Copies of this chain bind each other. A is one copy, B any other.
Amino acid sequence: MAEKPTHVDSFRVQNDRQRNQTVSTTGCQPFVLPAAESDKLERIIEASPALKKGTHLFHQGDPFMSIFVVRAGTLKTYTVTNEGEEQITGFYFPGEVVALGGIGNDEHPVSAKTLETTTVLEYPYQPLDSLAGQIPNLRTQIVSCMGKEIRDEQQMMLLLSKKTAEQRVATFLYKLSVRFKQRGYSATLFRLSMSRNEISNYLGLAVETVSRIFTRFQKQQLIKVEGKEIEILSLERLYTVSGDEKQSPEQSVQYR
């Protein structure tokens, strides 16, 4: 393990906006507005300091006050079952919005924790919401984000209840690739910021299963694994294995 964070824990943005200067949000905010309105928005945003690996942004049950956008680094969100084991509900990369599940609720339904050194932008929800009342464009973008979250979770439900272990891992890697590509990183060569344990937890599998499948995929020349470094050797085949490929209807009638 890189750092030993254990209990730095729970950062709270303490008016650390230097010299009343608005925060630069270059290239990572999901809410894009024309200059004048963008100014208003930026005035309510607070930038976090660099948060060490293992820091909580918030805990499940904390009062819901803000949503967050990742600037750099990675977050996971998770719920805790009654037996105390965690269930990871999502990983969040730069540009992605965290804590939407708290909207309309008085408390956060999940915890959010950094997987590596991470910085975020905090959007205090009440000001954000009233801005959304003045700026239709912003309102639209917020509900769009929420809609996307809903759709992503539906995909995840499908994965968890219908896919085999192989399909889950393939889907995971494929979707990571797509997300990295969208953010301008390589689609085929990247570093997993989460542990095998976290991957398996997220996918509803045992660690051992993920391990075995990584090696199997490597033997099949699908990927190249070297610790946390992943190279995808064939995105096409990976996609095929993921089970998301829509096979042409012809295929099922092909009887001759």
Contact = CB atoms under 8 A, between A and B. Distances in A.
Interface of A: 79, 81-85, 87, 89, 100-105, 109-110, 129-130, 132-133, 136, 139-140, 142-151, 153-158, 160-162, 201, 203-204, 243-247, 252
B157 A153 contact: yes
A161 B203 CA distance: 7
A254 to B, nearest CB: 15
A81 B243 CA distance: 8
Nearest to A110: B154
Contacts of A144: 103-105
5 contacts: A87-B158, A103-B150, A104-B143, A105-B144, A105-B148
B87 A162 contact: yes
A82 B247 contact: yes
Q: Which 4 pairs show the lowest CB-CB distances between chains A and B?
A: A104-B144, A161-B204, A104-B147, A103-B147
Nearest to A246: B82
A101 B150 contact: yes
A134 to B, nearest CB: 9
Please indicate which of the listed interface residues A83, A103, A201, A245 has the most CB atoms of chain B within 10 Å of its own CB. A103
Contacts of A103: 143-144, 146-147, 150
Contacts of A102: 147
Please indicate which of the listed interface residues A151, A155, A156, A161 has the most CB atoms of chain B within 10 Å of its own CB. A161
